[in-house]
């Protein structure tokens, strides 16, 4: 697969970021647009998308234990390693969790499905759905839990557990997929009207998140909000190089996946960082500058790294 083919998939991502940047610079959207648009994604569009994904899961199609283990472990190892390094260097747990998400959150939705469809056909869609669920429902949820723990200041462990539990119970990004799981468990599907509503609302999640990212990049920030000089390069390196290497080692030498599943696991692990970390950074009012840089840089660099892998693997 050529760089031009990958660029065709990646171009809409840059176009949406550019649209947000231009909307801010031209004054089409005001100074609060980034926050409000991001809140729309977090509280409405993304929960609808998660609900739609989980509600339509067919367990028989996605039960690939070896692939689940390879991709899941590669994500969790990157998350844990980055979290440990950041926390050890004095970063607050909430910021360390967002950095860890930057290093492990593959853009399976916007890039994964179209790339896999071109390279592997429909055979690769089920593993891609598995990877999306692991990233969006699993790793994302762990980051939210750690951020909530970090932001609570109660001294008593019991009160801390209650406060964190209450915050998590009100978080739509966790509640939506849990409620949606009742449908596949019962072997049922959402009603047609509900299904249409979820698809319409959920379809806005990724475009709005990318536009919000463009709005943020166009904003004027105070000197105190200037980006840290360290961090972005390391996170990009972990995401684009170390995570796919770990996935390949696990697939080839630990779980013995066949060639197709091995290539799928490595390709999905090699994808650039998605918009999830930026959503959390904005929602919880943490430092979003490094996250925005990681998303942009990893997306640009992945044109070369993903092309190189596909040239070697196919």
pLDDT tens per residue, range 94-128: 999 999 999 999 988 778 887 887 788 878 878 98
Give the model's pLDDT for residue 254.
95
Over residues 182-187, mean pLDDT? 87
pTM over 0.85: no
Task: Domain 16-218+227-313: state its class.
Answer: mainly alpha
Instruction: Decide if 57 contacts 133 (C-beta within 8 A).
Output: yes
Cβ neighbors of 123 (< 8 A, separation 6 or more) are 260
Three-state SS sequence of 195-238? HHHHHHHHCCHHHHHHHHHHHHHHCCCCHHHCCCCCCHHHHHHH
> In sequence order, which ranges of 89-191 are alpha helices (DSSP H)?
93-102, 113-120, 125-133, 140-151, 157-169, 172-180, 182-186
C-alpha 67/C-alpha 65 separation (Å) is 6
Quote the tokens at residue 229: 């000089």
pLDDT band at 227 (very low <50, low <70, confident <90, very high): very low
In terms of Cβ atoms closer than 10 Å to its own Cβ (0-12, 13-18, 19+), residue 285 is exposed
Asked if pLDDT for residue 162 goes beyond 90, the answer is no
pLDDT band at 70 (very low <50, low <70, confident <90, very high): very high
Share of the chain above pLDDT 90, in %: 31
Q: To the nearest 10°, report the CA torsion of 181, 187, 190, 191.
A: -160
Which secondary structure element, helix H or strand E, spans residue 302, and what is its range? helix 289-313
Give the model's pLDDT for residue 224.
43
Measured CA to CA in angstroms, residue 304 lies from 11, 110, 222, 270, 309 at distances of 14, 18, 34, 11, 9
First-to-final CA distance of the chain: 8
Least confident among 212-226, 248-262, 300-314: 212-226
Instruction: Decide if 251 contacts 62 (C-beta within 8 A).
Output: no
Give the model's pLDDT for residue 160.
60
Which secondary structure element, helix H or strand E, spans residue 282, and what is its range? helix 276-283
Give the model's pLDDT for residue 225.
45
pLDDT band at 203 (very low <50, low <70, confident <90, very high): confident
Over residues 170-186, mean pLDDT? 84
Over residues 82-87, mean pLDDT? 94
Number of helices (H) and strands (E), helices first, in the chain? 19, 0
Provide the residue ranges of all domains of the chain, joining segments of one domain with +: 16-218+227-313
pLDDT tens per residue, range 3-18: 676 777 778 878 888 8
pLDDT band at 229 (very low <50, low <70, confident <90, very high): very low
Instruction: Decide if 140 contacts 41 (C-beta within 8 A).
Output: no
Per the model's pLDDT, the better-predicted residue between 37 and 250 turns out to be 250
C-alpha 213/C-alpha 128 separation (Å) is 24
Asked if pLDDT for residue 223 goes beyond 50, the answer is no
pLDDT tens per residue, range 243-292: 999 999 999 999 999 999 999 999 999 999 988 898 888 888 887 888 98
Instruction: Decide if 236 contacts 301 (C-beta within 8 A).
Output: yes
Return mean pLDDT, the chain: 85
Give the model's pLDDT for residue 164.
63
Quote the tokens at residue 310: 């596909």
C-alpha 211/C-alpha 213 separation (Å) is 5
The residue length of the chain stands at: 314
Give the model's pLDDT for residue 80.
97
Give the model's pLDDT for residue 100.
96
Measured CA to CA in angstroms, residue 232 lies from 99, 179, 180, 237, 289 at distances of 9, 36, 35, 9, 10
């Amino acid at each position: 697969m050529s760089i031009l083919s990958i660029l065709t998939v990646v171009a809409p991502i840059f176009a949406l970021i550019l649209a947000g940047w231009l909307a801010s610079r031209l004054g089409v959207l005001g100074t609060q647009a980034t926050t409000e648009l991001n809140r729309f994604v977090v509280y409405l569009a993304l929960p609808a998308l998660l609900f739609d994904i989980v509600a339509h899961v067919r367990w028989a199609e996605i039960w690939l234990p070896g692939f689940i283990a390879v991709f899941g472990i590669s994500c969790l190892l990157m998350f844990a390693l980055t979290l440990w390094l950041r926390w050890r260097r004095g970063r607050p747990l909430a910021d360390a969790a967002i950095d860890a998400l930057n290093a492990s959150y593959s853009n399976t939705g916007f890039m994964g499905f179209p790339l896999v469809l071109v390279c592997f056909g429909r055979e690769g869609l089920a593993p891609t759905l598995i990877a999306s669920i692991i990233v969006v429902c699993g790793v994302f949820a762990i980051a939210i839990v750690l951020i909530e723990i970090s932001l609570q200041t109660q001294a008593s462990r019991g009160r801390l557990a209650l406060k964190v539990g209450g915050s998590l119970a009100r978080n739509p990004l966790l509640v939506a997929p849990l409620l949606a799981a009742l449908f596949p468990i019962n072997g049922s599907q959402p009603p047609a009207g509900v299904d249409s509503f979820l698809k319409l609302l959920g379809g806005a999640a990724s475009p709005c998140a990318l536009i919000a990212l463009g709005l943020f990049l166009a904003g004027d920030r105070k000197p105190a909000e200037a980006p840290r000089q360290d961090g972005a390069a390391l996170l990009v390196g972990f995401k684009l190089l170390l995570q796919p290497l770990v996935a390949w080692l696990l697939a080839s030498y630990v779980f013995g996946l066949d060639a197709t599943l091995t290539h799928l696991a490595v390709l999905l692990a090699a994808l650039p960082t998605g918009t999830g970390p930026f959503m959390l950074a904005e929602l919880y009012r943490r430092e979003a500058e490094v996250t925005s840089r990681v998303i942009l840089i990893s997306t640009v660099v992945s044109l070369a790294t993903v092309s190189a892998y596909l040239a070697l693997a196919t």
